[in-house]
Structure 1
Amino acid sequence: MTTPITIVQSAALEKAFSVPARLKIMSTLFVREEIDFSDMAGLLQLTRGNLSVHMKTLEELGYVSVKKAFIDNKPKTTYTITRQGRTHFRSYVTMLETIISPVR
């Protein structure tokens, strides 16, 4: 059972996840858990610059972790959803469901 979230928590979640690109990113990571930068950009049809900005924001919030490596002398950046990211995103989805449930 999910505990109710406070107004302050609700506002923070809204700020983090209400941007359509971030909502898509978190939904993708919630399901796939890990994805590389190029695959994410292609899948979500985001420019590399746009994706980079949103991933940096989510990383700073502690919702995603980043792993950088070189494969065949080419840089590869992989993103993973964190435990905190998973928990907060689930809370955000629950909050949205509560808001829209009367409309169903």
Structure 2
Amino acid sequence: MKNNSLEQFNKVFENRIRLQIMSVLVANVSYDFNSLKELLELTDGNLASHLKALEKEAYILINKTFIGKKPNTQYAVSEKGKAAFIKHLDALENLIKQQKTN
């Protein structure tokens, strides 16, 4: 029999890196590309591909500016992204609670 709480899991967050990115963005107002890359110890391409997946779902907001002559890209979680992330975390928490009662 399929557990109903499993239906609440979001496939976008099944990837560890996307889960980490969202955790950072939910806990902070925004984060820039280089700081995310350094914090998560990722390559440019790896981080960019995961950010693109989150952007495709409209889970993050992107703000591109320049600091002097250097480009600076800031990322923030969108309301849709925050809601989806919280729903995913709630599903994880419910699964853990169910396992404790069994």
What band does the TM-score fall into relative to the shorter chain?
0.7 to 0.9
Divergent runs of 4+, >6 A:
none
Deviation at 1:102, TM superposition (A): 3.1
Per the normalisation by structure 2, the TM-score is 0.87
| Counterpart position of 1:94 | 90
Give the unaligned 5+ runs of structure 1: none
Identity %: 35
Give the unaligned 5+ runs of structure 2: none
For 1:100 and 1:79, the matched residues in 2 are separated by 31
| Counterpart position of 1:31 | 27
Q: Which amino acid aligns with 1:80?
A: A
Query: How many residue pairs align between the two structures?
Result: 97
Larger Rg: 2
| Counterpart position of 2:36 | 40
Which one scores higher on RCO, CA 8 angstroms, separation ≥ 6?
Answer: 2
For 1:5 and 1:91, the matched residues in 2 are separated by 10
For 1:85 and 1:30, the matched residues in 2 are separated by 9
Question: 2:51 matched to 1:55?
Answer: yes
Return the match for 1:81 from 57, 77, 84. 77
Cα RMSD for the two superposed structures: 1.8
